[in-house]
Structure 1
Amino acid sequence: MISISTSDNRIKQFFIQIGEISFFAGRFFKESVRPPYEINEFLRQCYNVGNRSVPLVSITGFIIGLVLTLQTRPTLEEFGAVSWMPAMVGISIVREIGPVVIALICAGRIASGMGAELGSMRVTEQIDAMEVSGTNPFKYLVVTRILATTFMVPILVIYGDALALYGSFLIENIKGNVSFTLYFNQVFNSLEFGDLIPATIKTFFFGFAIGLVGCFKGYNTRKGTAGVGLAANSAVVMASMLIFLLDFVAVVISDIFYDL
């Protein structure tokens, strides 16, 4: 009886949280189109989300290209298909590996940071003070952060993809003496708009999910300072799960269009 009631409570809490996030997202869309617009705060959040994530994204993207090429090249050599390496790496990174891995890295850094920042503001009653003073804390704190992640994560993904391809080129240049022009000509000849467009579009949804979850967890923090750490941790977990779910949906939709 105890285990059944516990599982029922977890299922109930799950659907309650889904409803709360949906209401939170609806409020975001309503507030985002209603003036006044916090342009300066939006630009500041773009700097925080984008510029401060560049070092981590740079290292991650570069190592992705190095490791993927080092791991795959021996297998292709056995089949005499080393010439296919640029095309294989380019399609793999642009279509799937780059967007998902970079988005997960951003979820770990950005969602946790937003959850902790807004959570600390909530438990120290700074958000309540903003409401009492007549300002709109939701528009100033939440809308600007979600918009910033929505627009900056795709840029970070494109930047990470470029570094991953460059890392792959370095290995090919060292191992196979492949020139820069030859390598990237093969990469771009293998890519089509059907590869680039879906991969780019889904990164906007990744960014929106990261910002939405991070702000939701932080804005609704309870239980004092202990809740701040819980909000940051749960924001990373939920944002990562949403990224995988959105990626699966994007792949299914893309596959349907390819069949058509």
Structure 2
Amino acid sequence: MTYLHNIGAYFIMIKDMFRKPTRWSVMKGLIFKEIDDLIIGSMGIVAFISFFVGGVVTIQTALNISNPLIPKYLVGFATRQSVILEFAPTFISIIMAGKVGSYITSSIGTMRVTEQIDALEVMGINAINYLVFPKFVAMMFYPFVISIAMFLGILGGLAACVYGGFTTVEDYVRGVQEDFIPFHMAYAFIKTFVFAFLLATIPSYYGYFMRGGSLEVGKASTTAFVWTSVAIILSNYLLTQMLLS
């Protein structure tokens, strides 16, 4: 029953997020602040991880293709498929569940502990719209982060190939271009939008409805990370089954 209650409260929060909106003059500033904190502030860690994990994927692929009859351009092909289909949208989203999700939960949870949310409600402001909606809008720019992750993952693979001596630049680029299916990009960005929605709303739910003191803020952040990661993995399975099967 507790899980069903939590799910019901979660969907009610999503509905209330669009009800009684805050004035645009105020909301605009909140949205730009969240874009800076959630999107731009995440670019550094995303770029670092994407470049080097792309290189690791390429090295492992090259080392497992030891048969001389297998063409070398398959290294680039395998790297492109791995990065675009799974690594960039899914792996980066799980990492963002730790970074962005913890930030969202702790920031809203701290406002709950210090009774700032109660003050907003006393003033007649829809606190859910005021706090959650800017984060939701900011996370709609999340596909931009994933597109950067895709590019840097493939670029990291190219660097690993060239400096590791596994294949030539020409073979790697040929593999990246080989049998490219445009729908795979659409599939990746559909997943990304779904993950962005989960990253914005699940941590907000755990921050908004938490009870207790500062210790509970940390517990809520951990719980939000766990359930956001679970939701991302489950939705990844369902979307892959629906879109690619």
Deviations 1:4-37 (A, max 9, x none): xxxxxxxx21121111112112222445xx5633
CA contact (8 A) 1:24 1:216 kept: yes
| Amino acid corresponding to residue 196 of structure 1 in structure 2 | M
Partner of 1:140: 130
Q: Are residue 187 (structure 1) and residue 145 (structure 2) matched? A: no
Deviations 1:25-68 (A, max 9, x none): 2222445xx56331221111011111111111011101211111
Q: Are residue 118 (structure 1) and residue 105 (structure 2) matched? A: no
| Amino acid corresponding to residue 234 of structure 2 in structure 1 | L
Partner of 1:228: 217
Partner of 1:196: 185
Runs of 4 or more, structure 1, over 4 Å off, are none
Q: Which moved more, 1:35-44 or 1:205-214?
A: 35-44
CA contact (8 A) 2:39 2:145 kept: yes
| Amino acid corresponding to residue 123 of structure 1 in structure 2 | V
Deviations 1:107-141 (A, max 9, x none): 11011111011001001001111222233322221
| Amino acid corresponding to residue 210 of structure 2 in structure 1 | T
Identify which of 76, 91, 95 aligns with 2:85.
95
Partner of 1:178: 168
Partner of 2:35: 46
Deviations 1:204-245 (A, max 9, x none): 110110110111111111022222111111110011001001
Q: Which has the higher helix share?
A: 1
For structure 1, the 5+ residue unaligned runs are 1-11
Find the aligned partners of 1:80 and 1:156 in 2 and give their Cα distance.
Answer: 38
> What's the TM-score, normalizing by structure 1?
0.87
Q: Which moved more, 1:156-165 or 1:184-193?
A: 184-193
**Residue 65 of structure 2: SS of its match in structure 1?**
helix
| Amino acid corresponding to residue 36 of structure 1 in structure 2 | R
| Amino acid corresponding to residue 59 of structure 2 in structure 1 | L
Q: How does 1:69-88 map to 2 (within 5 A)?
A: 69-78=58-67, 80-81=69-70, 82-88=72-78
Deviations 1:162-206 (A, max 9, x none): 111011001111214522x65335313432212100111110110
| Amino acid corresponding to residue 113 of structure 2 in structure 1 | V
CA contact (8 A) 2:38 2:138 kept: yes
Partner of 1:155: 144
| Amino acid corresponding to residue 46 of structure 2 in structure 1 | V
CA contact (8 A) 1:91 1:190 kept: no
**Residue 190 of structure 1: SS of its match in structure 2?**
coil
| Amino acid corresponding to residue 57 of structure 1 in structure 2 | V
Find the aligned partners of 2:167 and 2:73 in 1 and give their Cα distance.
Answer: 12
| Amino acid corresponding to residue 93 of structure 2 in structure 1 | A
For structure 2, the 5+ residue unaligned runs are none
**Residue 77 of structure 1: SS of its match in structure 2?**
coil
| Amino acid corresponding to residue 142 of structure 1 in structure 2 | V
Find the aligned partners of 1:200 and 1:61 in 2 and give their Cα distance.
Answer: 17
Find the aligned partners of 1:182 and 1:48 in 2 and give their Cα distance.
Answer: 40
| Amino acid corresponding to residue 118 of structure 1 in structure 2 | I
